[in-house]
Amino acid sequence: MAKELEVSGKNIEEAVAIGLKQLNCTKDDVEIKVLDEGTKGLFGLMGAKPAKVLLTVNKNFSASERQEPIENKNFENKEAEEKEAGIEESSESSANEIEERLKNVDFALACKSAKENVSKIVSLMNINVKNVGVICNDDTINLDLSTDCGSLLIGKKGQTLNALEYVVQLILNNNPKTRVKINIDTERYRQKQHDRLKAAVNKAMDYVRRTKKVYRFDPMSSRSRKFIHTYLEKFGEFESFSEGEGRERKVGIRLIANN
């Protein structure tokens, strides 16, 4: 009987790519059947539905022919994690480059635009916005939303809040005068998330230090992965890395070789 695999993804292309990787084959080796094209939902925030495909491996395909050694798998440096929705400040970005970009920014206009757009979008989600607090810190605008339904705005694992921040960031990036990084929070979700991640990383470091083995976290968002990479920089004996693709991307921690 031919081997079959049902896979989900943000879109058909991602679902197919994930399935091909799991099967260790190419498109020529499988028959692809689209089960559900999926939907993006409102602004990508609500009602989103993943795409589903069914991959059926051809009878004459042999997985052993394309088996790759473990060392060739996709392990990347943490610099690849620096890319976030909106403005991307990599570790190589100099202070002068950031300062030059900020010369064109009108913070008053950026704050006004961010506040207005986030209020509009949240209102379209049928969530009542009671207040939007705005605080500027150096090169970042922090928005703190007070609503009558914080859990709905946050969404599962913060996905709705992340999507909202992504959309507002894209809007600001369209104008050089408002192109500044933003952070959106409600009910101190971001801070609570950071506290949970710190606790998890501290336990992971204890495990690695004790066993000398690599510790891998479950797949998580790019924001959480970036936080872990940054947090670990404070500890000289450890290094972090990323592996996997799409929704399966995860962070690992290991001891630095010379320790």
CATH number at residue 211: 3.30.1370.50
Considering the domain architecture, whether residues 178 and 196 belong to the same structural domain is answered as no
Note whether residue 98 is domain-resident: no
Note whether residue 97 is domain-resident: no
Considering the domain architecture, whether residues 144 and 177 belong to the same structural domain is answered as yes
Return d(Cα 76, Cα 142) in angstroms, integer: 30
Domain that holds residue 250: 76-82+191-255
User: What is the structure's pLDDT at 42?
Assistant: 54
What SS3 state is found at 58?
coil
Considering the domain architecture, whether residues 167 and 215 belong to the same structural domain is answered as no
Considering the domain architecture, whether residues 54 and 37 belong to the same structural domain is answered as yes
Q: What angle do CA 159, 235, 229 make, to 5 degrees?
A: 25
Interhelix angle 159-173/107-124, rounded to 10 degrees, is 140
Cβ neighbors of 70 (< 8 A, separation 6 or more) are none
Judge whether 215 and 208 are in contact, CB under 8 Å: yes
Residue 142: give its domain's CATH number.
3.30.300.20
Last residue of a domain, one of 19, 40, 67: 67
Note whether residue 174 is domain-resident: yes
Q: How many domains does the chain have?
A: 3
Note whether residue 88 is domain-resident: no
Considering the domain architecture, whether residues 110 and 166 belong to the same structural domain is answered as yes
Alpha carbons within 13 A on the beta-carbon side of 37: 2
User: What is the structure's pLDDT at 189?
Assistant: 93
Alpha carbons within 13 A on the beta-carbon side of 83: 2
Return d(Cα 110, Cα 176) in angstroms, integer: 10
Considering the domain architecture, whether residues 165 and 208 belong to the same structural domain is answered as no
| Residue that the structure tokens 């709705």 belong to | 160
Considering the domain architecture, whether residues 163 and 226 belong to the same structural domain is answered as no
What SS3 state is found at 220?
coil
Considering the domain architecture, whether residues 236 and 208 belong to the same structural domain is answered as yes
Q: Which residue in 37, 65, 57 sits closest to 49, CA to CA?
A: 37
Last residue of a domain, one of 44, 67, 90: 67
Q: Report how far Cα 34 is from the mean position of its chain's Cα atoms.
A: 26
Return d(Cα 164, Cα 185) in angstroms, integer: 10
Considering the domain architecture, whether residues 168 and 239 belong to the same structural domain is answered as no
User: What is the structure's pLDDT at 105?
Assistant: 84
Q: What is the pLDDT along the chain (259 residues), one digit of tens a residue?
A: 567 888 888 888 888 899 888 888 888 888 888 888 887 665 554 556 788 888 888 877 665 544 443 333 333 343 344 344 444 444 444 556 666 667 788 889 999 999 999 999 999 988 998 999 999 877 889 999 999 888 999 998 888 999 999 999 999 998 989 989 999 999 999 999 999 999 999 999 999 999 999 999 999 888 889 999 999 998 889 999 998 888 888 999 999 876 5
Note whether residue 96 is domain-resident: no
Note whether residue 171 is domain-resident: yes
Considering the domain architecture, whether residues 121 and 183 belong to the same structural domain is answered as yes
Considering the domain architecture, whether residues 213 and 243 belong to the same structural domain is answered as yes
Would you list the DSSP string of 103-133? TT--HHHHHHHHHHHHHHHHHHTT--EEEEE
Note whether residue 99 is domain-resident: no
Return d(Cα 125, Cα 135) in angstroms, integer: 24
Centre a 10 Å sphere on the Cβ of residue 113 and count the other Cβ atoms it contains. Answer: 21
Rg, the chain, Cα only? 21
User: What is the structure's pLDDT at 14?
Assistant: 87
Considering the domain architecture, whether residues 140 and 117 belong to the same structural domain is answered as yes
